């Protein structure tokens, strides 16, 4: 079976128009963020990653194999506006104006209503939404001046099919998708495209996708996806191959969202 899925490994560069452009990826130290960083570095982009875990950021930076001076890692708590401002200053002064901003960072806390605290609620929305608008607010002006740019958000299937428990994660991601559409309309006249990617069950590596979930009845393709597959969609959304695509949410989920119920269960 693994041999049949060789197409899931990272591919060489597909989009020459991305070469030398600057991309900022939040939550780039691990998981989907790391996968996106690896793919965009392979496309020849200048990659900046941020996150709370310094050790993970340094590890990812070492994996990028980017030319000297073409990548950086900067610790940042996106819930704090002053740190967001500092992050953008470092990126612009080191790599240049941001051409694309992938907002992937998220506070992964799933809490039911009875156990919810205001602190957890506020922190989740701060990372997903307040950071999203702060980042967009700072990267948009130079994008407007150049009349090009892309801002993909990494969302979740939880905006349409809730997790249990799903608060406050699903609510914050739903707000983020609404922000995606609002920003797409506002920034569209400047040729800045704003979209979202909604991943399903994702494993970091090919082995995880092929050995752990082949028999899963919950995913029509009978496996998890890989970070490389999410990253491939991110690269497409940044490239001019998606030049007429904005305000959309693309599900990368193996068909999970299309399925009403698992096989054998009739609703």
pLDDT tens digits, 46-62: 999 999 989 999 999 99
In the CATH hierarchy, which fold is given to the domain comprising 2-258?
Rossmann fold (3.40.50)
pLDDT band at 2; cut points 50, 70, 90: very low
Q: Which of 15, 133, 169, 244 is catalytic?
A: 169
Among 251, 259, 262, residue whose Cα is nearest residue 215: 262
- Sequence-distant (6+) residues with CB within 8 A of 199 are 32, 154, 156, 157, 225, 230, 252, 253
Signed CA dihedral, 52, 183, 192, 230: sign only: positive
Q: How confident is the model at residue 122 (pLDDT cuts 50, 70, 90)?
A: very high
pLDDT, tens digit, 9 for 90 and up, residues 166-199: 899 999 999 999 999 999 999 999 999 999 999 9
Average pLDDT, the chain: 90
Cα separations in angstroms, 240 against 27, 219, 255: 24, 31, 26
Question: What letter does residue 12 receive in the DSSP assignment?
Answer: -
Q: What percent of the chain has pLDDT over 90?
A: 74
Alpha-carbon span 16 to 31, nearest angstrom: 25
Asked if 169 is an active-site residue, the reply is yes
Residue 7: per-residue pLDDT = 52
């Amino acid at each position: 079976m693994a041999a049949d899925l060789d197409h899931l490994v990272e591919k060489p560069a597909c989009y020459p128009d991305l070469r030398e452009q600057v991309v900022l990826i939040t939550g780039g130290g691990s998981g989907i963020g790391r996968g996106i960083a690896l793919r965009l570095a392979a496309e020849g982009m200048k990659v900046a990653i941020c996150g709370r875990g310094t050790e993970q950021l340094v590890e990812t930076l070492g994996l990028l194999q980017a030319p000297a001076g073409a990548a950086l890692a900067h610790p940042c708590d996106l819930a704090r506006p002053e740190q967001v401002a500092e992050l953008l200053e470092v990126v612009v002064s080191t790599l240049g104006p941001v051409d694309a901003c992938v907002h992937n960072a998220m506070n992964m806390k799933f809490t039911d209503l009875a156990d919810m605290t205001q602190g957890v609620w506020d922190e989740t929305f701060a990372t997903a939404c307040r950071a999203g608008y702060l980042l967009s607010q700072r990267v948009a002006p130079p994008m407007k001046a150049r009349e090009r740019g892309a801002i993909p958000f990494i969302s979740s299937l939880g905006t349409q099919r809730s997790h249990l428990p799903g608060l406050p994660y699903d609510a914050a991601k739903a707000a983020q998708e609404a922000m995606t559409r609002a920003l797409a309309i506002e920034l569209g006249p400047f040729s800045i495209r704003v979209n979202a990617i909604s991943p399903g069950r994702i494993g970091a590596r090919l082995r995880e996708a092929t050995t752990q979930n082949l028999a899963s009845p919950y995913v029509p393709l009978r496996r998890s996806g890989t970070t490389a597959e999410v990253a491939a969609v991110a690269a497409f959304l940044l490239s001019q191959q998606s030049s007429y695509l904005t305000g959309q949410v693309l599900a990368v989920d193996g068909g999970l969202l299309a399925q009403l119920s698992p096989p054998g269960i009739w609703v």
